Structure formats: structure tokens, C-alpha cells
Structure 1
Amino acid sequence: MPDSLSNPGLIFYTTFVTAVQSQIDNTLNNRANSEGSFVSTVTVIETPKKTVNLRVVVTTIKEVDSDNRSSFITNQITQLSHLYTQTFPILSTDVILLDGKCPAETTSDTKGKFQWKPVYPAEFSTVPCPYNSVASATRICSTDPSGQPLWNAPDTSSCQYTNQVTQTLTELANTNVDSSNANTIQSDLLTLSRESSSFTDVDITLSVEVIEDLLVEGSLYTNTQKSQDMVETMSNILNSPENVITESETTYKSSERFVKTVESLANGIVPSSGEFTAVKENLALAVRQSDPDNFSGITMTASVSQTQGISKKGITIKDGVDPTGIQSGVIIPSSFFQTVGGNSPRLAFAVYGNNKVFKNAVTKNLNAPLVTPINVKSVNEVNGPVISTSVQNTNVQGLKQPVVFRFKHFDDSSDRPQCVFVKTTGSSSMEWSSQGCTVKEHVKGSHTDCECNHLTSFALLMDIYQTGGGLSEANKLALTYISYIGCGVSLLGLLLTLLTYFMFRKLRVNNPSKILINLCMALAVTNIIFLVGMQEYTLDNDIGCKIVAVALHYVLLSAMCWMLIEAFYMYLALIKVFNTYFSHFLLKCCLFGWVFRVLLNGSSKKITKSDNKSSISQRLKGAIALIVLLGLTWAFAIFAIDGGGIVFQYLFTIFNSLQGLFIFIFYCLLKTEAQQAWKRKLGRAPPKYSGPTMSKGDTTSNTYTSEVSESKKEFTDISKEIDASYPETRLKSKGNTKRYPSYSESNT
């Protein structure tokens, strides 16, 4: 078959495809026993035997169950085997039952990122090249052995490279490294790495791939200058943007591979004079040949700054165990080789000047921190240099006398240290593990000493964001106890408030009381979740922690919404000139308070207003008291953020944890109607209180109590004052009169 069939743009290809489609359609549709209509489409012609892939659409009048579809279609096209000539023989026909399309997918390579649209099997997806819109990249949708859609590898050969650096790195990565070209490749890579600040995730991956090839070739291990150059190359790569390194690890696992290349380089270097040291800005390596028979221990010191990286002092190694003056470093005991053995007496150290390649490492099954404030969940970050220690070709574990690592803190305000090492898992992200490591000494604001019974890459995890804004442990503990005690007392007050309003129907016949009941329920659930959910057994469990976080977030938002509804209702009663009627008002409030989606829609009706201002002062004081009660105390949080003052943190904790108690005091203990209701319940009632008279079908109060203690008037129902000032606003009617939202109803 001619090569012309490989190019869909040629007229021979078009003519051939048209002829095949016509011949197949005629054969299938002209069969005497055909039970349907057939339309075929040539989708692609593949090599090596020029397989013609067709999609045949069958509109059949025969009902076929899913198990017999394949055999039915096969029987329908059996005569296709007779469609052949001497030039184009049909060797075989296969039927694959296709189920769906290859899904939309985004891929990236040295030519950029490509977004592939869904297509059926045996069809091409074509997208423009990112850096050359004239050309296109293609990708065919194939099938797996079971007939399910499966993407083939993209063909981006017609596209341009992302940039010249990417093109050169691609060429280096595709070159077989041997002794004849190793020097040139390493030199070119060093030159390119100096532009790492503009590297893409693909550039990082290609660089790591070239380093891996050079280490396999191995000539640099015995050449001091080449080893120095490789350390510089690796240090330059660590200058790449942090987000690019993170993306490269996510897509290509390049960070894990980079860490392994550093270990390989450190273990492979053969120092010409017994010791090798290379100090660059982001990476320092030191190798020391030791005598196991006369080993008195080794102290390695590193000078590392979070902002400046590794200082010019870099790494210093001295014999013996001497922690004096160590900022960050390693102390290996004199008994080390008694456990390890003397077959590989070469010790290697690596110090990272930044932690970019470890940002994707996850924390799992860590030991409890040294200092654990009650129920304070930390956010752990690496708070010091990452130090790697190894012995050539030896897996060091189970040391009788542990190795001591000292980490100088990058952030002096952090706390709760955890000594960890990085585990490379191969199939998933790198992990931090604390197995075999413990905190020996922690000096806040200075350093932490760790003891480990094995060797690898070690780091110090600490609570960088320190919940509590730099508070002392005593203050953290005090605030924790205040929170729990306050929430417990608040929960009791809320339950008593709900009990009071549910027991006495007259207290809950109006909208303000019903709004208050919903607010109490939201706050009560919030306190329950805090008391029960904010415990170690949930915070240490990922699923439990997420459930508690979502539930607490929801009920807090609900409580805030009900506070907003309270404020809105007060606005209608105290400020609004016109009484506003809302159909299904309480239902809309519930939707807003519990679902957060339904907005209130209302229509207004004009009435007259009195010019009586005699009770403005009392109304203002009552409004302020209720505003403070229903949320103004949250303003203390603004001043408590970021260590804004210990006083405000205590005020915020006290007032907000006791909000339920305040509601109980203002709406039960100081509420005249609640007092009288309980007195009647307990048989100690005064002459029966004159409440509003209600007639059948009458939904609006017709009479109002006038005797209320002035001292308690501010905290009961502000609407009495509105009635006194604006008697015209009380609309009397018979039958089913519409109710108007105002605090006057709270007298009932």
C-alpha cells in the first residue's frame, strides 16, 4: 500500500477513503437479511499494514440486549471479508464494542501544555501548538484489551520548544552519556543551570534526568573539580521558583529524584586527600574518610540562614564529640562503627540551604510534640536546614548510641518541635516520619537537638504559625480552660433558654422569640461541636478533623446569620419609617439562617409616624445592649489577631464563650414574662399577668401590657417603647389580619 495513505492531506488518501466507505455502505445496506441502516466513517489509517479503522453507525430495528451487541454486529458485517482486490486484500475484520470517549486531559512536555478534547476511539484529537499556532499536535484515542477508551502518547513533533533552554536540555537528556561526552554535557548543564530562576517544571525534570545520566557514567566521582561543578549545578537548580519545583514534583516526581541524586553524589565521591568539601549557596557537601579502629567520633557544623542560605563558612568537620558552638550540625558518637562495621568508613554529609524540594513531603504518623497545648492543632513547617548523613553503600539502622542532630531555628517564635526524616516512597509523595527519632533538647528561640538511631535526610518540623500569636504556654493553657468552661456554662444557659421558650407557648408566639430560638439552637450546636469535637481523638484523624471543621464552620455561619436576622428585625422595629410586610417571613429567615441562599423579598406599606421622642434614649441603650449581646464582642478578634494584645485575646475568649449565658440572663432571668411564667409553673405566681387577648382567627395583639419595670425595659422587648411612642402604628383588625414585623409582638 503506498505511503500516500499516511498523509490525509493528499487527494489519493481522500479518494481511497471515499471508495472504502461507499463500498462498505453498499454491501451492508444491500444485504437481503439486513435489519438496519449502516453508515461507515474511516477515522484513521494506521501502520504497519495500513489498518483501516472505521466507525460503523447502525440504526437497527431489532432489539438487542447488551450482552449480544458484539455478536449481532459481527454477524451483520461478515461479508466485509469478501470486499477485497488483489491490490488491497482484507486480511481480517474485528469488532470492538466502544463505550464512551477518551476523556478531556491536559498533558505537558518540552513543547508546552496541551489540552486534549474528548474523542471517540480511533479518532484524532488535534490542538494548536502553544508556541507555534500554525502547527498542531495530535493524539489518537485507542482502546485497551477490554475495549475501553485509552489515550495514546501525544505527537508534538511539529511544535516548537518552550524556549531555547528547554530545547537544549531536551537534547542533553536524549544524548547517551559516555566518557567521550560527559565533560561537555556536564559543562553545558552547569551553564544552563545558572538560568534556573526562569526554569519551567519540565526544565527541572530534564536537568535531574541529565544529572542521573552523569552519575551513572561515574567519572565525576574521582575528579574533585567535576564534583565541585556538580554541587554548583545542583545548588543552582534549587534557585528555581518554589512553585515550579512543587509543580515539577507533582507531575514528574523530580524533587524526590533530586534528593536521591544528592545522596548518590555524596556517597560516590572519593576524596583524593581523605576529605572533600564543596560549599555553594543552596547546597553543601562534605565527605570524610575515617579510621574505624581509631574513631573518636565526628562533629559536623553547618552555618545556614533562611534568607542567605549557606554561609561561606559552610561545613566544618572535626574529630571528637564537641557540641560547643554548633549552630546546626551532626554529632556522631565514638561507638558508631562498632554497630556499623568498618567495611565502609567513608562518612558523607549534605546540607540544604533551602527546603524547596521538601515542600511536597507529607506528614504521617508523627510522634507527639514535646510541648502540646490542650487541643491546639499545629501547622508544621520545616524550621531549620535539612541535613543528610550517610555511610557509603551501607544502610545504617538500629544504632545503640544515637546520632545527635542540632537544628538552629529559622523562625524563633515557632514551637512544638518534631524530629523527622524524609522517606522516599517511589509511588507517592515523599513523607516525613519520626520513627527512630526523638527530641533530646528544645530551647525555644534558639535550637532543637534530636536523637536518631539511623541515618538519612533529617529535618525539624515546628509549628511556624504558632496558634496563640506568640502567647506563653501559661496563657495558652488559661485561654483553653476559659474556652471550655465558658462554652460549658454557655451551653447550659442556652439549654435553659430553649427549655423556657418551649415550655411556655406564650413566650414563643411572635417572630422575635422564634428568631431567638433558632439563634440559641445554632449556638448550642456550636458549643457541643467545640466541646466534643475539638479533642485529640478527632484532631489526630484526618477524616474526623475534616468532619469537625466542616460542621463547626457551618454552625458558626448559621449563628452569624441568625445574629444578622436579629439585627435586621431590630432595624425594622427601631429605625425603619414604614412597617414592612414580608410574606412567609419566618420561612425565609430559616432558609437564610440554615441554608444561606434565600434572600428576603418584601413589599412596604406606608403608615403615619408620631413625633414623640420621649423614649429615644432608652431605645438606644436597649439597642446597644442587644447589639453587644448578638455579636459586637466579635470585634475583639480584630484586635487579637497577630498578637494584637493579650487583653483583647482574653476579652474575645470570655465574651464569646459566654454568649449563651448572656442570652439566658437577658431573655430569661431579666424578662418579666419569663419570670411570671415560671412563677405560675411553680405555684408562686402573683395576680395573673394581663397578656394580650386573642380572638379566634385574630393573629395580631389587641391589648398591650403597660406595667413593666423601667430598669428591665432595655433588655426585654424594645417594642413596648415603640407602642408607647407610636400608638398609631398598632393596626387593629378583625379576622385574619396580616402581621407586621416589629418588636411590639414580643409582649405576648
Structure 2
Amino acid sequence: MYCSVLNKISKDQLRRNISRIFTQSQALHDIEVQQGHMKLIDEMVCDENTTSTNNGTFSWPMTKIGTTAEIPCHAYVATRYCSPRTMGHPEMASSQNMSSQKCSPFTGIWQEPDMSQCYNTEWITRRLKDIARKNIDKGNINNISKEILDISQKSVYFKEEHIVLTVEILEKMVPLISKVYANITVSNVLRCINNLINIPEEVLAGAEEEKRSANRLLDLIQEIPEKIPLEEQQVTAIYSNLGIGVSKVNPDTFDGLFYGVSYGTNDAKEKTMVPKVLMITLLLTIYDSPNPDQQEADAKLMASISLPRSLLKHLKDEERSSVSRITFFSMRDDKLYRVTQNSSTKQNARINSHVLAASVPDIPMGNLNEPVNISFNLIHQNARNLQCVYWDESPGLNPHWSPIGCHISRHEPGKEVVCSCDYLTSFALLADIYQNEGETENAFSITSNIGSGISLAFLILTIIIHVCFRNPWDLMSSKVLVSLCSSLAVTNFIFLVGMQSYVQTMAGCKAVAALLHYFLLTSVMWMTVEAFHVYLSVVVVFKTCQTCFMKSSIFSWGIPAVIVIITLAINSTDNYIKIAEV
């Protein structure tokens, strides 16, 4: 309530005056508000208020005098104390318009907000450790999953320790999901994992290096649709980063299956992806349906996977009898896959699609009679050098995307790519990071060849001049120079002839690499001899002898040969070949 004149009036008098005004109000009488329905609440408060700081804009609710308001702020909370109004308070300065002052002493004064706890994550650590110490069973999994979901809302502020603790808790929950309602898994556990994917990539990478947390999280994502109870024919769920689909199947009547997912951009927040469509249905329903609306929905899918009718026919009898479901999951991007890759692997390409996965639980599905077709809409439409890839976790290799067994069966430039693969696993579409890499690589190759050709021509010219116009064996300097030029000339020749696209065999590649290694080393050695000879000629009075050049030749041609032979002998010559991983 506001007043135009500040009067010295007691609290009881003010209450009586306000009560009389409401009792005698004709407006309230006209709308049939009875006196018994009115109550005067005697509270002294700080009014609603908005503040702006470097941490953002915050709206403070009406708060009782003598108490502290708490509102969410980044990782934790911001606080602000509501104090009683006193005549000596700075906000009572005479410069303020007295006609707009709130009537004293029944309104309070907001103190400065305390933002010191906005990024405090100790509460996250404390709550996660408390949950980790609990024994999780089907009786308390619902409450605990809700609690862990609540904590995961702040996942963007998680540290490596929080990721490790959360994954450990989820690993205790997932084995129990077959014993509880599917809604608990979909609403709590899956949403929690979805929130974890929002964690900054560098923090996830640290947790992966420490406890393989990202890899374990991928295992959980694959395990959830395998264990979730199928109360109906299908279970589907989709969130901003993650979606799953599960369908009951009968091996004897299996007629193909389709899984599709689409994400759309949230207009309220740029770059935030929100789910639009998720479907899992029989193959015939999608492709043979005369319903144009259904066909239009299919066309708008960002990614889809269709399983052939013959998928289960090649299974043995004992395997067929154990098949009861087929599982799918999709991911908006490959963040978890990226952090599980070896940090030393050169990332010269990126995933340009959503990630789709399909599996038959506990049965490896490879060498299929009919391929699995995976359709991707391109995220970056101008990307080039596309490859269909699958996630390879073969023993002895670092996990990586591999193109083996997959190929592009249809490509609409800038729109859609259809991949065909002969097994079930995680699939994606790989593209060059740099869209003009092909032109750049071609220009670089031409420039390198021209430069090497010019260098080779002048090296040969130098050798001819020394041989034809002076006897190179009379002077030590001429011998060293001719030897150095010969080594460099052979190096350039090998580069021009051997570093071309037609050298694609493994043996040819190893031979070129070994020869380049040898002649580059000999060139360095002859440069060392040349430098040493110049030093002797300038600083030391030195008489050239025949044995000096012999020793220099053994040094310059022999030591590189030993190095290359040892390199060839170790690891069965595989040190001269790089198996590309993406």
C-alpha cells in the first residue's frame, strides 16, 4: 500500500483504518464480497524486486522482514536478506520522491544480493556421495532416481568427480529396471542420462580418462532398452539428446522393423534441440501405407533405420528361441563417442548426422543376407567426402568409427544419404571437417610436385657441372657436395614418383616410406659432414686425406641404413604404415 503523506500512526490504528475502508467499500459490496471472506494479514515484507549483475538477471519474491530469500543461481543459489526499514537507512535519502515511498515501518529494505554461492558445487558432491552410500533396491529406486534426476539438472556445472559418482549410481540402478515399471526408467533414469550429455566435453574427457565414465555411460544407454520391461508391444522415449525404442518380436513372424527420429530447433533457445517425432513401427506400415500424412512424417525424419525381413532367418534354433525384442537408441550427436576415442588419434573428420543404433540383445548380428538400411539427413548440408561408418570396439584397437562393411547406397546431395551395412551396431555419417579440403589437398599436391621437380632439376644440374667441369674427387668439398646433392636428388625423385595415388598396395606404401626415411637421413648426415668440413677448413689448418672421405661415407650412408633396418625389423615392418582411424 502506498501513501502520499507520511504520518505518525500506530500499527493498531492503521489496521482499524484499513479494516473500516474495506468494510464500507461499496465496490466490494457490489461484487458480493462479504466481510467474513476478508482477512488482513499482518506481515512486514520486502516487495518483489529485480536485480541485474554479471551473473544474470534475478527476480526476488516478496519476502518477510528478517528472513533471507533464496533463488536458483547457476550451480546453486543466490541469497538476499530482507531487513527492517529504519530512518537511518541509506535508502531513505531525501533525494527520493517522498510521495512514492512505501509507508514506514511496514515495509522492509532489500540488502545487496549475495552471489558468492552461485558456482558452489559442494552440495552436488555431498548429495551424490550420500546417494552412493545407499543400498539401491526396487523399493527405493523410484525415489533415488528422482533425486539423481534433480541433481542432474545442474549437469552443466558438473566436475569430473560428479560424473564418476553419477555413473556409479546409475550402474547400480540399471540392473534393477527390469523389476520396476518402465515409467520409472523413462521418466527418471533416461532423463538423467540425457542431462549428463550436456556436460562440457572437456569435463567428460577428463572423467573418461580417469574412470572410463563416458564409455560406461554408452554401455548403460545400450543396456537400458535391453532390460526395460515391455508392458506393451513397444516402448519409446525421446529427449533433447537421447532417444530409445524397444519392440517385441516373434522370430517366426518377423516382417521387418523401422525406427526413425527427428529433432527440431527450439525457437526460444538457439542451438537447443527438442524432440519432435519418434516412431517405431512395422516396416510395411511405413513403406506400403497409402496414408500421405504418414509418408510426409517419414520424409521429415532426421535419421531412420530399417531392418530387413530376413534379419532373423539366419539364426540358429537356440538363438531364435531366445529372441524376444529388438532395441534401438539414437543420439543427437557423437559427443560421448568423441571423448571415448584415444586423445592421440588425429581428428581429421567429424560426424555429420545423428547416431543410430540397433541390436538384438545378447546375439551378435553380422554378415546379414540383406543389408540394414540407415537413412541420414545431413546436419551440415555442404559437407563433402561422406562415409558411412559404424562404431568399432574390436579387441586390441582403440574405439573408433570404421567404414568397413558399410557403403552409401543412395545420396541426394545436400539432403539425404542412405547407408547399407551388413551388421547391427551404432551407425553414423562421417564427413571432412573442412568442406574445401579436397580442393586444398589437390592444390597442395600440385604445388609440392612442382617444387620437388624444380629442386630435382637443379640438383641434377649441380652434379653435372661438378662432374663435367672439374674433377670432383680432387677436393674434399666437391666430394661432399656431390654426395649431398645425390642424396637430396634421390629423395625428391622418390617423393615425385612414390607419393602418388597409384601407390595403394601395402608393400608399395611400405617401400616408399622406408626409402624416404633412408634418404632423408642420409641427407641430414651429409649436411652434418658438410658443416664439419667447413669448420675444419676455416678454423683448423687441415690437410685433406683420402681416409677422411671414406669415414664420412661410412658415417653418412651406413648409420641411416642401420636405423632403417632396425625400424623394418621391429613390428614386422608395420612401423612404415599407418592404419587410419577416424
TM-score (norm 1): 0.44
User: Please, which of 341, 348, 353 is the counterpart of residue 327 of structure 2?
Assistant: 348
Separation (CA, whole Å) in 2 of partners of 1:332 and 1:174: 43
User: Please, which of 216, 220, 227 is the counterpart of residue 175 of structure 2?
Assistant: 216
Give 1:569-718 correspondences, 5 Å limit. Answer: none
Q: What displacement does 1:522 show?
A: 5.3
- Give the conservation status (yes or no) of the 8 Å contact 2:326–2:360: yes
Partner of 1:495: 460
Q: What displacement does 1:406 show?
A: 1.7
Partner of 1:316: 279
Q: What displacement does 1:339 show?
A: 3.7
Separation (CA, whole Å) in 1 of partners of 2:523 and 2:438: 26
Partner of 2:49: none
Separation (CA, whole Å) in 2 of partners of 1:426 and 1:204: 26
- The residue type paired with residue 495 of structure 1 is I
The answer to whether the aligner puts 1:327 opposite 2:293 as a matched pair is no
Separation (CA, whole Å) in 1 of partners of 2:155 and 2:511: 42
Separation (CA, whole Å) in 2 of partners of 1:549 and 1:315: 54
User: Please, which of 175, 178, 201 is the counterpart of residue 242 of structure 1?
Assistant: 201
The answer to whether the aligner puts 1:407 opposite 2:376 as a matched pair is yes
Separation (CA, whole Å) in 1 of partners of 2:193 and 2:263: 17
SS in 2 for 1:401: coil
Partner of 2:557: none
Q: What displacement does 1:451 show?
A: 1.5
Q: What displacement does 1:471 show?
A: 3.0
- Give the conservation status (yes or no) of the 8 Å contact 1:383–1:461: yes
Give CA deviations for 1:684-714 in whole Å, capped at 9, x if unaligned.
xxxxxxxxxxxxxxxxxxxxxxxxxxxxxxx
Partner of 2:386: 417
The answer to whether the aligner puts 1:283 opposite 2:249 as a matched pair is no
Q: What displacement does 1:550 show?
A: 8.6
Q: What displacement does 1:213 show?
A: 0.5
SS in 2 for 1:347: strand
**Unmatched segments (≥5 aa) in structure 1:** 1-160, 364-376, 566-581, 585-748
SS in 2 for 1:285: strand
- The residue type paired with residue 349 of structure 1 is F
Alignment CA distance shift 1:469-1:461 (3 Å): closer
- The residue type paired with residue 315 of structure 1 is L
- The residue type paired with residue 448 of structure 1 is V
SS in 1 for 2:304: strand
Partner of 2:576: none
Separation (CA, whole Å) in 2 of partners of 1:443 and 1:299: 21
- Give the conservation status (yes or no) of the 8 Å contact 1:328–1:385: yes
Partner of 1:298: 257
Give 1:143-542 correspondences, 5 Å limit. Answer: 163-218=122-177, 222-290=181-249, 292=251, 295-304=254-263, 308=271, 310-319=273-282, 320=284, 322=287, 324-339=299-314, 341=320, 343-361=322-340, 379-424=348-393, 429-465=398-434, 469=437, 471=439, 476=442, 480=445, 484=449, 487-488=452-453, 490-505=455-470, 525-526=491-492, 528-529=494-495, 531-533=497-499, 535-536=503-504
Alignment CA distance shift 1:533-1:548 (3 Å): farther
Alignment CA distance shift 1:494-1:324 (3 Å): same
Separation (CA, whole Å) in 2 of partners of 1:381 and 1:501: 53
- Give the conservation status (yes or no) of the 8 Å contact 1:284–1:310: no
- Give the conservation status (yes or no) of the 8 Å contact 1:197–1:239: yes
- Give the conservation status (yes or no) of the 8 Å contact 1:304–1:385: no
Alignment CA distance shift 1:498-1:413 (3 Å): farther
Give CA deviations for 1:470-525 in whole Å, capped at 9, x if unaligned.
539xx94x87567547744652443233322454349999x9xx999979975873
Q: What displacement does 1:583 show?
A: 7.1
- Give the conservation status (yes or no) of the 8 Å contact 2:488–2:520: no
Separation (CA, whole Å) in 1 of partners of 2:165 and 2:128: 6
Separation (CA, whole Å) in 1 of partners of 2:511 and 2:341: 18
Give CA deviations for 1:148-205 in whole Å, capped at 9, x if unaligned.
xxxxxxxxxxxxx983323332332333211232222212211121221122223222
Separation (CA, whole Å) in 1 of partners of 2:254 and 2:340: 35
- Give the conservation status (yes or no) of the 8 Å contact 2:498–2:512: no
- Give the conservation status (yes or no) of the 8 Å contact 1:279–1:310: no
- The residue type paired with residue 186 of structure 2 is S
- Give the conservation status (yes or no) of the 8 Å contact 1:286–1:348: yes
Alignment CA distance shift 1:544-1:231 (3 Å): farther
SS in 2 for 1:405: strand
Alignment CA distance shift 1:524-1:398 (3 Å): closer
Q: What displacement does 1:219 show?
A: 5.2
- Give the conservation status (yes or no) of the 8 Å contact 2:452–2:492: no
Alignment CA distance shift 1:400-1:469 (3 Å): closer
SS in 1 for 2:364: coil
SS in 2 for 1:454: coil
SS in 2 for 1:416: coil
- Give the conservation status (yes or no) of the 8 Å contact 2:215–2:340: no
Q: Report how many residues are paired.
A: 389
Separation (CA, whole Å) in 2 of partners of 1:380 and 1:555: 35
Q: What displacement does 1:239 show?
A: 0.7
Separation (CA, whole Å) in 1 of partners of 2:147 and 2:184: 15
Alignment CA distance shift 1:399-1:188 (3 Å): same
- The residue type paired with residue 376 of structure 2 is F
Q: What displacement does 1:362 show?
A: 5.0
- Give the conservation status (yes or no) of the 8 Å contact 1:204–1:245: yes
SS in 1 for 2:191: helix
Alignment CA distance shift 1:518-1:222 (3 Å): same
SS in 1 for 2:439: coil
Q: What displacement does 1:298 show?
A: 2.9
Alignment CA distance shift 1:218-1:250 (3 Å): same
**Unmatched segments (≥5 aa) in structure 2:** 1-119, 288-297, 532-537, 541-582
Root-mean-square deviation over aligned CA pairs: 4.7
Separation (CA, whole Å) in 2 of partners of 1:178 and 1:515: 81
SS in 2 for 1:239: coil
Identity %: 24
- The residue type paired with residue 326 of structure 2 is L
Greater relative CO, 1 or 2 (CA 8 Å, sep 6+): 2
Give CA deviations for 1:582-607 in whole Å, capped at 9, x if unaligned.
979xxxxxxxxxxxxxxxxxxxxxxx
